[in-house]
Amino acid sequence: MLQLFREGGVMMYPLLILAVTVVVLTIRGGMRVRSASRPDAVLETGLDAVVFWGAWSVVVGLLGTIVGIYFAAGAIEAAPAISPQVIWGGIRVALITLIFGLLVFAVSAVAWFVLRTLYRKRVAGAAA
């Protein structure tokens, strides 16, 4: 896994920061949902932030992929002859950031859905 992180290049660091942000926001949201007894706009905004930053990880991952493919294309263009294995190896490495970004987004979407559902059940139960 660490090797994949290194192969992903410099764009993996913002993705790591976004992943940590999603985890921290999920934990904070979970603790606040447990004590929620009435509708709370600040809590709802905090829960929405989980999926917002997860979605940004897809954007950063896609940007990393585009930058990686751009540099790979430059290297391919400069080489007099290049094998298909080298080309696909470069594209594979360029896709690492997108895969990681999509993974962070998937986790954030599931966390948001679970927290939002628990929050709505808690508020509905307290109102009854």
pLDDT in tens, 103-127: 999 999 999 999 999 999 999 887 6
Output the CA–CA distances (angstroms, integers) from residue 85 to 23, 34, 88, 106, in the order listed: 37, 52, 5, 30
At 128, the pLDDT band (50, 70, 90 cuts) reads: low
Confidence (pTM) = 0.87
Q: How many residues in total does the chain contain?
A: 128
Asked if residue 87 lies in contact with residue 76, where contact means CB atoms within 8 angstroms, the answer is yes
| pLDDT given at position 84 | 79
Residues 20-49 have a mean pLDDT of 95
Identify which of 2, 19, 11 has the alpha carbon closest to the alpha carbon of residue 104: 19
Residues 52-73 have a mean pLDDT of 92
| pLDDT given at position 16 | 96
CB-based burial of residue 16 (10 Å sphere; 0-12 exposed, 13-18 middle, 19+ buried)? middle
More confident residue, 113 or 76: 113
Residues 75-84 have a mean pLDDT of 81
Q: What six digits make up the tokens of 78?
A: 């400069």
Q: What six digits make up the tokens of 66?
A: 């585009």
Structural domain span for residue 64: 2-127
Number of structural domains (the chain) is 1
Cα separation, 72 vs 4, whole angstroms? 17
